[in-house]
A and B are shown apart, each in its own frame.
Chain A
Amino acid sequence: AQSVTQLGSHVSVSEGALVLLRCNYSSSVPPYLFWYVQYPNQGLQLLLKYTSAATLVKGINGFEAEFKKSETSFHLTKPSAHMSDAAEYFCAVTGDNYGQNFVFGPGTRLSVLP
């Protein structure tokens, strides 16, 4: 079975500062990991995904995440925050071939201060 924890339900950064959103997972099989972003009253949009090809994954909007097996982590980063990055971010994990065990973390709300 898989599980996901996201440290910090709410993170605030200043515009131009580094964004770091934390995700730790638990999986009994090799994990496949995802980061999604959700803007108010919208569906979730995929930012990036890790599927074992490379440990450093680059996504849309300047975000990237690094898979660290020893730390069971998949933290999301962006060098310089923009006001438009303010949203809810979800980390997710799956470990099977049928999508039946697609597990989401509780989410982290990112606020960007001017």
Chain B
Amino acid sequence: SQTIHQWPATLVQPVGSPLSLECTVEGTSNPNLYWYRQAAGRGLQLLFYSVGIGQISSEVPQNLSASRPQDRQFILSSKKLLLSDSGFYLCAWIFPGGHNEQFFGPGTRLTVL
């Protein structure tokens, strides 16, 4: 069976500090991978998606970047965090090539102070 991991689960960072959130999928190969953000009381905002190693599409220009160094690893980064980067970050994956559902990780709660 497939599982998706995210870490850390919670993170408190000062403004201006760097960020690295990691997402790893097990039990599948060549998934499409996604990063979403939920601000407090808001819906899902798609940040990045990837269809393969080194292939990143950005949906919203902002203070964040993403990388996919391995097939089942997706990393969300920032060089300098802003207060507005606070939120709940969700990673998701999907089997490519079909009308399939997205599977979500447990999320990372980021608070920027």
Contact = CB atoms under 8 A, between A and B. Distances in A.
B107 A42 contact: yes
Contact of A41 (B94, B98, B105, B109): B109
Interface string B94-108: 111111111111110
A28 B87 CA distance: 32
Given A42-B107, A43-B106, A98 B97 contact: yes
Tier of interface size on chain B: 20 to 34
Contact of B105 (A36, A43, A94, A98): A43
Nearest to B31: A99
Interface of A: 32, 34, 36, 41-46, 49, 51, 90, 92, 94, 97-100, 102, 104-107
A98 B102 contact: no
B99 A97 contact: yes
